[in-house]
Amino acid sequence: MTDSRDPDALIRRAGRPDPDRDQHFLVDDRVLDRIPTYAEDFDRSHVLEIGAGTGALTDRLLAHADRVTTVERDRGYAQFLREEFSEEIAADRLAVVQGDALDVEFPDYTCCVSNLPYGVSSEVTFRLLPDREPAVLMYQLEFAERMAADPGTSDYGRLSVAAQHYANVEVVETVPPEAFDPQPRVESAVVRLTPREPDYEVADEQFFFDFVKALFTQRRKTVRNAIRNTVHISGLEDGDAVVDAVEEDVLSKRPGDLAPETFAALANVALGVQEGREP
């Protein structure tokens, strides 16, 4: 994309990012050019971008999307974006929202493509996932690997279960620190999230997530002991009654060995016992 804005020139015009404010801007043209292509199978009629910074990725997204809404917390950068992309804004192809992505109201969007601020990547992700819209998001590599991890692996945990409850999770590219300015101290990764309905049912989604969270605080224990030891987290009144309602082959495993569908079945049993229903 020879006509793309130069990311280093954008920084020179907009001002240096501050790593103490979680500002690490992607400046590698090759990575910037690839990121929108990971969303080529998605509906890109209205792309949401979170954490635009100086607009290097915004520029690429405008080449692929009909319309872009970008959210930027930094007031100075938001004003720069309005000036730098004044023509695109005038043509109603770009909207710049200044504010915190955890607080502002998102528009109706068809997919999200973002280099997320790493300090709030988890909170932003779990604000996006319930919308069940596709996304291509940049994370710290460790976080990305935990999102995509399989049961029985060391990276598998509550993040894996929760993310995979909403979407298929693919790590599509790893990105070195040198691709950013200033350079972070960690490697990064681009993750593609393709929404899907889970192939299992949960009786109460919030209880399901709370139950998974509780059991993973005891990941080295058996499921039997994890249920008993975490009633103060899960909200269960009688952990022993839940244990009595679960089959031994599940109770003898550790939480990290349970697939999401097994967690769902277990949570449904626990909720049934809690509410006095037959498991």
Residue 168 labeled ligand binder: no
pLDDT for residue 19: 82
pLDDT for residue 276: 81
**Residues in the chain where the model's pLDDT stays below 70:** 1-2, 277-279
- pTM comes to 0.93
Residue 51 labeled ligand binder: yes
pLDDT digits (tens, 9 = 90+) for 207-243: 999 999 999 999 999 999 999 999 999 999 999 999 9
Tokens matching residue 75? 């007031």
Q: Give the separation between CA 92 and CA 74, rounded to whole angstroms.
A: 22
Question: To the nearest whole number, what is the mean pLDDT of the chain?
Answer: 95
Domains along the sequence of the chain with CATH: 7-195 (3.40.50.150), 205-274 (1.10.8)
Contact 211, 234 (CB under 8 A): yes
Tokens matching residue 55? 């607009």
Residue 24 labeled ligand binder: yes
Instruction: Print burial letters for 30-40: b (CB count within 10 Å at least 16), e (below 16).
Output: ebbebbbebbe
Closest CA to 166 of 215, 116, 141, 200: 200
Please list, in sequence order, all residues whose beta carbon lies within 8 angstroms of the beta carbon of residue 32, skipping any fewer than 6 positions away.
Answer: 4, 7, 26, 56, 57, 60
pLDDT for residue 277: 62
pLDDT for residue 1: 45
Pairing of strands 167-175, 188-195: antiparallel
Q: Give the separation between CA 151 and CA 99, rounded to whole angstroms.
A: 37
Q: What share of the chain in percent tops pLDDT 70?
A: 98
Q: Which amino acid is at 43?
A: D
Residue 229 labeled ligand binder: no
Tokens matching residue 117? 């601020």
CA angle in degrees (0–180, nearest 5) for 171-51-85: 120
- Please identify which residue in the block is written with the tokens 């299992």: 200
CA distances from 235 to 75, 208, 212, 242, 270 (A): 41, 11, 12, 12, 10
Residue 26 labeled ligand binder: yes
pLDDT for residue 137: 98
Residue 62 labeled ligand binder: no
Neighbours of 51 (CB within 10 A): 25
